[in-house]
Amino acid sequence: MKSHYIFFTLMALASVVTLGKSAILAGVLPPGDFAQYTAAFAFVSLAASAISFGLAEGMVKKFTRLVAFGRSDELRRTLGWDVRKLAWRHLAALGALTLIALAVYGPRMTIVASAVAVLAFATNAFAISASLFRAYDKLFAMSAATMLRAVCALVFCATFASLFNWEVGLWAEAASSALIGVAVLLYFRTIVRSRAKAPNLVASDKDSFVSREADGVWLFAATITALIPISFDRSWVLHSASGIDSAKYAFLSIWLSAAYTVTSIFVQKWGPDFIRTRLAQRGGILKAALSRSAEVAVFMVVGAAASFALLNQVYPDIYWAKYRLSWSDAALTVMALTLQISPVFDWALIALDSERAVFAGAVAFVLVWAALFLIVSLFQLGFPAYMLSMGCARAAQVIVAIVMIARKDRAATPRPAD
């Protein structure tokens, strides 16, 4: 239990460091450059998911169940094959993105394209490592690696962006993150080998219960679909709104990203708990998901309110005036960030073997987002409408997930014998 508190503390500090990196960049870069940096960085997760094409996503549930069933030898074989396959994909993507950027935009954009490709590799390396960390319940090591990555990203990105430009800063962050990602995978190579055993003889129904082949595909489809709004929202606002509105949206999106990251931190512990609850054939996953999401939402509201008060009172000229913020802008941002709780419900659905329902929620998110952003753009409603639209889109995703969990949870709950 003590290690869990250390885990949450270190992961929270890593989030603070990541938020600090964004704050430093927002302070040292011109508003337009900062908007371009955030727009480029937003494509990283989308690129990582597209290159993975279900490989990393399929490990989320499979690794935890393989370890629970004592099948580390099978895990070792699966891990080695999938990592090699993913490495070749990333190498091809690096060359393709660099050549496309050179042909279409010129030499300077190759820096951005190659940095995005390398950051995508780091993202997938950490995604695979996170599945292993959760499976072996090595939460302290996971938090330490995340903290190291966050600190290095801050130091290298902020330093090189200040000395040169945001493109060089992005590449410096990419290089440090990729090196740490490789180091963590090598660490786990040793761990998995030391724990590998001869495969156990298990029933065929347990094989399917570990993870269906389609699970990773559906989760990949859900992930890449849900990444569309958070990958393209800043670019959309940048090209359709005024300069100050696009810079304001880019700056306040830091809070949305931080809220989503905070939720993702907590589900590193809660998600495997949902899966183990399902393995024990117990119900109550919906109740647990609602309770956990309420806890993290309250935590995020308090933290966001305190951070806005700090900006207004301590750094009014650096941020508040520079980005022309108001308390109504802050209130809208707080409303939107409280709805960045979808990972809790996604994990509950994964535990219930309902990856298709995760995809349904992601589709609802994209459709509502696209419709509302299109309306806001056509009528030039400005920043408040864009932020409100993002909050409404997340709300649609959460509602779909809750409905699907309620249905699946009732079906999974054992009924008392007559």
Higher local confidence (pLDDT), 192 or 271: 271
Q: Are 391 and 336 in contact (CB under 8 A)?
A: yes
**Quick check: 215 pLDDT over 90?**
no
Range in 130-144, 189-203, 313-327, 335-349 the model is least confident about = 189-203
Q: How far apart are CA 374 and CA 37, in angstroms?
A: 23
What is residue 272's predicted lDDT score, i.e. its pLDDT? 76
The DSSP symbol for 318 reads: I
Over residues 145-172, the pLDDT tens digits come to 888 988 999 999 999 998 888 889 999 9
| Residue 54, phi-psi category: left (phi > 0), alpha (psi -120 to 50), beta (remainder) | left
Which residue type, as a one-letter code, is found at position 127?
A: A
The mean pLDDT value of the chain amounts to 82
Task: Residue count of the chain, please give it.
Answer: 418
**Quick check: 331 pLDDT over 70?**
yes
| Beta strands, E only, 310-416 | none
Over residues 78-126, the pLDDT tens digits come to 777 778 888 888 888 888 888 888 888 777 788 888 888 899 988 888 8
Q: What is the mean pLDDT of residues 15-44?
A: 84
Q: How far apart are CA 223 and CA 221, in angstroms?
A: 6
Q: How far apart are CA 219 and CA 417, in angstroms?
A: 35
Q: What is the CA radius of gyration of the chain?
A: 21
**418: confidence class by pLDDT, cuts 50, 70, 90:** very low
Higher local confidence (pLDDT), 242 or 272: 242
Token pair 């802008």 in the structure block, residue = 329
Please report, to the nearest 10 degrees, the dihedral formed by the alpha carbons of residues 337, 292, 364, 336 taken in order. -10
Q: What is the mean pLDDT of residues 318-331?
A: 87
What is residue 205's predicted lDDT score, i.e. its pLDDT? 45
Query: Exposure string (b/e) for 73-93, b if CB count within 10 Å is 16 or more?
Result: bbbbebbeebbeebeebbeeb
Which residue type, as a one-letter code, is found at position 157?
A: C
Q: Are 20 and 153 in contact (CB under 8 A)?
A: no
Over residues 371-406, the pLDDT tens digits come to 999 999 999 898 999 999 999 999 999 999 999 998
**Quick check: 206 pLDDT over 70?**
no
Closest C-alpha to 136, from 268, 263, 11, 13: 268
